[in-house]
């Protein structure tokens, strides 16, 4: 019996020591601070500061970050904000223009309008890369966004002829997640460009809509004209998306 009691006592000693250690652990002390940003977008900075595993809220209208962290983490966050909140990080407006250009194996047969002269260099590149004989402009979409913000637009300006002199609208939607300007001040990074096109395809009963789409990230220089995607319409037609961008104050 004495041996049994002694064994129970020996088992209880480590448990008592663990309970004592738990009682000695004190909760972390945190401090709170507001940071008013002069240049950088609060949401973009907040996303970067997630590596510190602190509680961080932002208010884009007030240009403020609210931080709750330990004193050591707060010091590191404050240093990071000083490095990030600089004049080159100030939000800028960006104008994006997307041209819907159709390549045809034969004549355009009334699909779209003539391609603008300022896209001649793009058409020359397409003719060197693909076997299409002619090109036409189906629609043009304009989208203005601000660095760090989402933007979208929808257009039904294009049309495809069918039947007896009838026209079916081309419905195009364009959305981007964010756009940012590079350190050189002229390059633009676009995150998650999502384009969706409902293309009318004529048939014996009139037409059916064909869903075309693409999603991509891309980098583009200001003023540069870039073919960002090719979408097949039929065996003798393809749709090319051409983009150009401009940075505004």
Q: Write down the pLDDT at residue 27.
A: 66
How many domains does the structure of the chain reveal?
A: 2
Q: Write down the pLDDT at residue 91.
A: 81
Do residues 78 and 164 share a domain?
no
Give the CATH number, domain containing residue 41.
Answer: 3.30.1370.120
Give the CATH number, domain containing residue 156.
Answer: 2.40.160
Phi/psi zone of residue 215: left (φ > 0), alpha (ψ -120 to 50 degrees), beta? beta
Task: Report if residue 59 sits inside a domain.
Answer: yes
Do residues 70 and 122 share a domain?
no
Do residues 209 and 192 share a domain?
yes
Residue 79 domain boundaries? 26-89
Closest by alpha carbon to 241, among 63, 203, 52, 220?
Answer: 220
Q: Write down the pLDDT at residue 22.
A: 54
Do residues 186 and 74 share a domain?
no
Task: Report if residue 160 sits inside a domain.
Answer: yes
Do residues 148 and 223 share a domain?
yes
Do residues 83 and 97 share a domain?
no
Do residues 164 and 180 share a domain?
yes
Do residues 98 and 57 share a domain?
no
Are 57 and 21 spatial neighbours (Cβ–Cβ below 8 Å)?
Answer: no
Task: Report if residue 72 sits inside a domain.
Answer: yes
Which residues are bridge partners to 211 per DSSP? 198
Total-model pTM: 0.71
Do residues 112 and 62 share a domain?
no
Q: Can you list the alpha helix ranges (DSSP code H) found in the chain?
A: 2-24, 42-48, 71-84, 120-129
Domain final residue, candidates 37, 61, 89: 89
CB neighbour list of residue 172: distance below 8 Å, 6 or more residues apart: 100, 139, 141, 154, 155, 156, 158, 195, 196, 197, 198
CB neighbour list of residue 231: distance below 8 Å, 6 or more residues apart: 197, 212, 213, 214, 238, 239, 240, 241
Calpha distance 66→35 (Å, rounded)? 6
Task: Report if residue 13 sits inside a domain.
Answer: no
Phi, psi of 175 (to 5 degrees): -140, 145
Which residues are bridge partners to 244 per DSSP? 97
Do residues 135 and 224 share a domain?
yes
Task: Report if residue 168 sits inside a domain.
Answer: yes
Q: Write down the pLDDT at residue 9.
A: 46
Task: Report if residue 34 sits inside a domain.
Answer: yes
Do residues 85 and 207 share a domain?
no
Domain final residue, candidates 89, 115, 142: 89
Q: Write down the pLDDT at residue 57.
A: 96
Task: Report if residue 8 sits inside a domain.
Answer: no
pLDDT mean for each 10 residues of the chain (249 residues): 50 56 66 93 89 94 94 96 86 93 85 92 94 94 89 92 91 93 86 95 92 95 94 93 92
Q: Write down the pLDDT at residue 8.
A: 47
Task: Report if residue 10 sits inside a domain.
Answer: no
Do residues 127 and 48 share a domain?
no
Domain final residue, candidates 89, 113, 129: 89
């Amino acid at each position: 019996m004495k041996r049994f009691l002694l064994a129970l006592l020996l088992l209880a000693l480590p448990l008592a020591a663990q309970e004592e250690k738990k009682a000695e652990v004190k909760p972390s002390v945190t401090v709170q601070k507001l940071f008013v940003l002069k240049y950088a977008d609060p949401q973009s900075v907040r996303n970067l500061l997630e590596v510190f595993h602190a509680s961080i809220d932002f208010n884009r209208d007030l240009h403020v970050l609210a931080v709750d962290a330990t004193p050591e983490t707060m010091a590191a966050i404050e240093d990071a904000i000083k490095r990030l909140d600089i004049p080159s990080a100030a939000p800028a407006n960006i104008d994006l223009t997307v041209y819907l250009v159709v390549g045809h194996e034969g004549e355009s047969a009334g699909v779209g309008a003539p391609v603008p002269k300022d896209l001649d260099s793009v058409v020359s590149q397409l003719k060197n890369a693909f076997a299409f004989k002619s090109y036409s402009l189906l629609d043009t979409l304009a989208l203005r966004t601000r660095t760090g913000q989402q933007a979208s637009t929808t257009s039904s300006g294009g049309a495809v002829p069918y039947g007896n002199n009838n026209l079916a609208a081309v419905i195009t939607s364009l959305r981007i997640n964010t756009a940012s300007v590079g350190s050189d001040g002229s390059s633009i990074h676009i995150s998650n460009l999502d384009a969706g096109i409902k293309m009318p395809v004529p048939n014996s009963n009139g037409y059916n809509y064909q869903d075309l789409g693409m999603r991509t990230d891309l980098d583009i220089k200001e003023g540069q004209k870039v073919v960002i995607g090719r979408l097949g319409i039929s065996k003798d037609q393809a749709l090319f998306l051409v983009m150009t961008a401009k940075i505004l104050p």
